[in-house]
Structure 1
């Protein structure tokens, strides 16, 4: 060890007395200073302006610990490899050209001591560069309110491991040639190859797995994001060992007079051994994870983890069905498999590693869809496939024809996008992708897993036969967007609730019905229908009634039996730039505690804001508790002199209404737009919701806005959707203003680099004088 330290000290002395090394230090610090401090200065200026204009301003969208430096760090990493070759290009060749390598070789100094000593010297000097990163991140820590220190430490670990790997590579390249310039150029080339190797020949499975291990591109992304994995740690350690070992073997071969096959066999054995270790350390089930972020941004929610625990450990086979004619093709092609597995599925494999992956490639269209034939006139489907394969540079021989894929699976009800089929102990279900963001969210994955582990999922039956809002159509006033629309990731179909229609003229309400929905009937319900609904309610069934102004008489015969009445008239308020009957109405505290929609969770955390929806013409609801029901308003509108219940003639796109008490117009202190009813019956809790408007859940009103599907969640006993937590972000503001930010910028871009330049110059001059 003493010899290693002596060689390291000599190498370190050489570097600090080198003009090139000081140029690297100063240039690197200037670049880092500009990249790190410029966004800090800009954000400090923005914060001061926003705080002055809005005293209630709550801060930036956080977490600032990551958001402030994410783009900066990626830029610095993209520059980082430019500096390392300047430090390593003369590490070994300098000794050879000066003749000292022959002296070392003839002395009792081992080859490994030479390599390790040189590497330790480079690594120690590297801390000077890392000190710049540490200083800048430390500045961020002290200028961000409640900054996450562990996140910054993870970023530093990523920088250190990447630089250590670069230095090992550069040291090895320096062993290959006696010319420093050639060593520097070759190092640049190797760094470039290791960066792009993960992008080439990715359509071949064996090559893809091999190049994915060798590729250095993106290896620090998880650590920068606050997630440390044994896979990434093992990669950097193995890469360092690989190139240090190759450097030792190279120097050893120069001292021996043996046949070329001997050093070749040693190098090949060393490389294969390292690659095999890398392969096994990256297998699912053998990877350890440490999420160092305070709010666990890199870890799936505990609710999602609980759903995965419902699986008993048996394999889950995930088959990706990729349609050449469909959307998200680029996400499903072989070249994207590593991103598919490690980018999307990895966070789930962390908690359930027994996932198996299969792939099916095909081309097909939905029956009746003529769009693609219009785009390629006078061509059949096979001829079109040839053209599309050329456009996307795909091997058509890997894609099955329509007849072949239809024998394996029925995808006729699925969208023309990549879908995934989950198979668990013979039970199968579909997990969809979406556009424009491709991969499903945690509630979508949880819902699909629940379809595998549970015998049934709750079903919402929508009454039909009276021109009600439909769960199958996606028109402006229909309900398909939040129920069965396949591209709506928060919709019921994609979060675990099945929706269908039922006519009570010919059918009874099935006993398995979790929720009956009566959505704005436009004609009177028959006596038999009313009787069936009342029988269903009497037995404790859950229900949702959407009423509409002008059609109160359609539902009141039923609702009056519950102690509820949809009052005549429509709520109006004359305004200059808003329709008189449109109100963005907030949920009450009781409403915000019904479910775990994002806005509802935030209300529980802060007691402010909460869920809100756009009611486009609503009736006031009056009620009186009876039959054991507890009734609470869940959406209300505070009274105002400019708001009233209009009982006269009202046309929304005509002249502004005028309050006229003589015509029956009424003003109240508070208007009730939606209520919930609850009681204990037949040993279960019965839940009913009644709203005075149906438009607020239609597409034209953004499908419930921030209320989302929260009402449905409460009505199915909050089993679905399987919500994830909303984090109360703490690091959303800075502790400095624009003047301090500007001062820091000048200090880091001019003052400190200037001092470093003066220090290096004086040190080199003093050395030359000696």
Structure 2
């Protein structure tokens, strides 16, 4: 060990007598500082503008523009310059022969030289400490563990790059050749996945070889035994082949023996690599304070309930717009999207089945057929068309037809199957809420939600403006109830007594209910059934008998609100004070949008219900218009003579104990509240969808949608003001680099004199 330390000390002194080592340190320091202060200045500006900040530690150091992320991006350019002369200069000067003839082993030589670079890497990482210290005093409750583990990722990456560079330096006496070779091999390690992406079996090997994203994973808060093992294995491998090569040259080994030794080393590398990458043996440590890189505690407890093998099968229609997500080239990235569940369910396996079949929006050019288009799509997706399932095969799988033959996944467990879809939003992939909902449905079945369909009520089937398909049955809509654990079932009044779901929706009937139909509805309510009732001015009279039984009454007329930008019958209403106390707590100033709304009044007899007003109008700008009007022909304005400003509820919750459980009835005086036109509105930021989701969540006692609630971040305030930031920037971006440069100049000058 003493000899290794002496060689390391000597090599380190040589390293720092070279301007390259100093230049790299200064460049790394400046790069880190520029990225750090750019983010700090930006976040402090946002805070001054009173815009909410979140997870500042991660924003400052990780993500796309964080300090550590910016270092990783260019680090591969610096290390080859550092390692190119480690052995090359020994060859050039001839001192390698003196080393080999001295009383030190080849192993000691290699380890001593490598240790010097490890110490340099440690110095480079320690050079980042001023910025960590600055953040510690600038960010309230900075997540220090997160940053320190991120620095560990940088250190491991430098050490790994250096091991590769050391080997390349041992191959040639030309330093520039060693540098370029190192750069080329690091490029290979980064782009290795592309080489085998198309082929099963080879894909997993080339993906394991890839160094791309491993340090980023650690920097972004997830420390795993897989990544640590990768760095250690690559370092040990390149040090071993460096030692082996030098020993072989000294001993003059035969070509066959050399090949055998290298093959044995490679076999050992892949053996341990395979073991370390097996999900069963991977250990995880979420370095974030709020466990941001782990699914929620609720999700973890759900995952632990799966004890048998479970599969996630992706059915890829090559003609679907989402087919590229099932492309073999994209297979590893696609599977990695579910990594956070693989951790908790290691027996989870993913399979891919490709097929072709007609889809609703398929368009054919004049010169192509359905078959030729499918062949062309398969070729573009790197799939063998002859191996695809045909439309005849798909007919035997009716569950695919129910999904409109789109790209869809199914969890399969103990003979059950549940769909997991892709969504038409910026994320595309299912996230924890949707995955947990599908898993819980596998175990316990869906929450059945009925929608009355006897008298022309609103439906959840078509996509007209007034229908409820987006909110309830939109398969490509992430927040749709069907993707959050519910099954939406049309229910006829004559079968209402047999319905065993969590609740029913009664929305905007086109004609009045008969005495027999009302009796059936009353029986359902008396039995403790949950109800979501929605009306419009035109249908309020048809629903009046039902709300009378509940101790409510719909007012005559339509509520109006003064506005310069919208029709007066479009209400933008804040939530009532009691809403937040009863599960409808949103940010300050949050509103609901209601169009064509009537007021709700309370009778003295509450029929045993506890009443809670969720939404109510503001009398400052809202009035009730009882006269007929036509907005297409006239401009409706408040008339102080005939109109009266009102403060009335437009959404009410009724609650009582029935059959040892809470019965919930929601009455909304606007049937458009969850219509397709309203939930897709883009010109007003409303809470309509959130309210709908919480209503149905209460119907299931919190079971669906599945909660993925986590602890909130605490590092959301910047303590430093603009003046102190500018002072820090002056010290760390100007004074510190100049000081390092002066120290380097003095040392190099003294060396030159000697």
Same fold (TM over 0.5): yes
TM-score class, shorter: over 0.9
SS at match of 2:196: coil
Partner of 1:694: 671
Partner of 2:684: none
Partner of 2:389: 400
Distance 1:67 1:573, change over 3 A: same
Query: Does 2:726 match 1:736?
Result: no
Query: Does 2:2 match 1:10?
Result: no
Partner of 2:442: 452
CA distance in 1, matches of 2:485, 2:42: 44
**Residue 397 of structure 1, CA deviation:** 3.1
Query: Does 2:584 match 1:584?
Result: no
CA distance in 1, matches of 2:398, 2:746: 75
Contact kept? 2:327, 2:381, Cα under 8 Å: no
Query: Structure 2 residue aligned with 1:68, among 37, 60, 76?
Result: 60
Partner of 1:546: 534
Partner of 1:32: 32
Partner of 2:751: 767
Contact kept? 1:441, 1:489, Cα under 8 Å: no
Gaps of 5+ in 2: 681-687
CA distance in 2, matches of 1:587, 1:309: 39
CA distance in 2, matches of 1:593, 1:471: 30
Q: TM-score, normalised by structure 1?
A: 0.92
CA distance in 1, matches of 2:714, 2:515: 57
Partner of 2:654: 677
CA distance in 2, matches of 1:336, 1:275: 23
SS at match of 1:82: helix
Distance 1:190 1:409, change over 3 A: farther
Query: Structure 2 residue aligned with 1:667, among 636, 645, 649?
Result: 645
SS at match of 2:201: helix
**Is the deviation greater in 142-151 or in 740-749?**
740-749
Partner of 1:471: 460
Partner of 2:318: 324
Query: Structure 2 residue aligned with 1:756, among 735, 740, 752?
Result: 740
Contact kept? 2:364, 2:373, Cα under 8 Å: no
Partner of 1:53: none
Superposed, which structure 2 residues align to 1:252-291 within 5 Å? 252-291=247-286
Query: Structure 2 residue aligned with 1:177, among 160, 172, 176?
Result: 172
Query: Structure 2 residue aligned with 1:340, among 323, 334, 337?
Result: 334
SS at match of 2:319: coil
CA distance in 2, matches of 1:578, 1:726: 38
Query: Structure 2 residue aligned with 1:648, among 627, 632, 640?
Result: 627
Contact kept? 2:471, 2:679, Cα under 8 Å: no
Query: Structure 1 residue aligned with 2:611, among 627, 631, 652?
Result: 631
Query: Structure 2 residue aligned with 1:559, among 541, 547, 566?
Result: 547
Query: Does 2:597 match 1:618?
Result: yes
Partner of 2:697: 713
CA distance in 1, matches of 2:461, 2:274: 48
**Residue 132 of structure 1, CA deviation:** 3.1
Distance 1:119 1:550, change over 3 A: same
CA distance in 1, matches of 2:364, 2:133: 57
**Residue 762 of structure 1, CA deviation:** 1.2
Query: Structure 2 residue aligned with 1:387, among 361, 376, 380?
Result: 376
CA distance in 1, matches of 2:311, 2:619: 57
Distance 1:424 1:257, change over 3 A: same
Deviations 1:456-489 (A, max 9, x none): 4221211123332211122222211110011111
**Residue 658 of structure 1, CA deviation:** 2.2
Query: Structure 1 residue aligned with 2:342, among 343, 349, 354?
Result: 349
Contact kept? 1:41, 1:745, Cα under 8 Å: no
**Is the deviation greater in 234-243 or in 94-103?**
94-103
Contact kept? 1:611, 1:706, Cα under 8 Å: no
Query: Does 2:441 match 1:441?
Result: no
Deviations 1:681-720 (A, max 9, x none): 2232211111111212123222624424111111232221
**Residue 296 of structure 1, CA deviation:** 0.9
CA distance in 2, matches of 1:761, 1:304: 57
Partner of 2:708: 724
Superposed, which structure 2 residues align to 1:135-284 within 5 Å? 135-284=130-279
Query: Does 2:486 match 1:497?
Result: yes
Deviations 1:121-141 (A, max 9, x none): 111112232233333233233
Contact kept? 1:544, 1:688, Cα under 8 Å: yes
Deviations 1:590-624 (A, max 9, x none): 433555xxxx56x5xxxx52863211232111124
SS at match of 2:10: helix
Contact kept? 2:16, 2:22, Cα under 8 Å: yes
**Residue 276 of structure 1, CA deviation:** 0.9
**Residue 195 of structure 1, CA deviation:** 0.6
Q: TM-score, normalised by structure 2?
A: 0.94
Deviations 1:255-299 (A, max 9, x none): 102212222211210111011101111111211111121111111
Partner of 1:745: 729
CA distance in 2, matches of 1:112, 1:409: 64
Contact kept? 1:203, 1:334, Cα under 8 Å: yes
CA distance in 2, matches of 1:165, 1:517: 61
CA distance in 1, matches of 2:657, 2:351: 48
**Residue 438 of structure 1, CA deviation:** 2.3
Partner of 1:525: 513
**Residue 225 of structure 1, CA deviation:** 1.3
**Residue 36 of structure 1, CA deviation:** 2.5
Contact kept? 2:55, 2:715, Cα under 8 Å: yes
Distance 1:542 1:408, change over 3 A: closer
Contact kept? 2:312, 2:411, Cα under 8 Å: yes
Contact kept? 2:328, 2:382, Cα under 8 Å: no
Contact kept? 2:328, 2:381, Cα under 8 Å: no
SS at match of 2:277: coil
Contact kept? 1:11, 1:118, Cα under 8 Å: yes
CA distance in 1, matches of 2:42, 2:651: 45
CA distance in 2, matches of 1:473, 1:408: 24
SS at match of 1:285: helix
Distance 1:213 1:750, change over 3 A: same
